[in-house]
Amino acid sequence: RRSSDLASQVQYMNTVIGSQQINNITHIQPLSDKQLNFTVQSALGGSLSYLYFFCALPQVRVHNLVLFIRTSVKISYAGHTSQSSLETYQYVDCGANSSISWASP
């Protein structure tokens, strides 16, 4: 029997704008390739509220924001614990309300 914990953090310009921690999310069978979808709520407010004006400027054709996403999963099984991490970048065109994901090398 395996149990897993998931942690994810979203950053814009080294500022954390969202995070999610889920403990004991599932029991995964050995050699499983199960996929887990989750959402991290993020907000660009406070000191980053100026981004609303950037996204709404009609003079700028492309309104790209680059979000850095770090996700790690901790798996415990048979008295052993291991952790794996993934870092990705999400390019968000806030003017067109679209995004593209890129995994870091």
Q: What is the pLDDT of residue 23?
A: 86
Query: Residues of the chain with pLDDT > 70: what percent?
Result: 81
* Beta strand segments in the chain, E: 2-12, 15-22, 64-77, 80-93, 98-103
Higher local confidence (pLDDT), 41 or 63: 41
Residue 23 and residue 4 in contact, taking contact as beta carbons nearer than 8 Å: no
Closest CA to 41 of 5, 10, 72, 65: 10
**pLDDT tens per residue across span 51-68:** 877 777 778 777 788 899
Measured CA to CA, the distance from residue 32 to residue 78 in angstroms comes to 16
Q: What does pTM read for this prediction?
A: 0.72
Mean pLDDT over 39-54 rounds to 82
Residue 69 and residue 99 in contact, taking contact as beta carbons nearer than 8 Å: no
**pLDDT of residue 8 exceeding 90:** yes
Residue 2 pLDDT level (bands cut at 50, 70, 90):
low
The runs of H, that is alpha helices, within the chain are 51-56
Residue environment code for 53-78, b if the CB has 16+ CB neighbours within 10 A, otherwise e: eebeeeeeeebebebbbebebeeeee
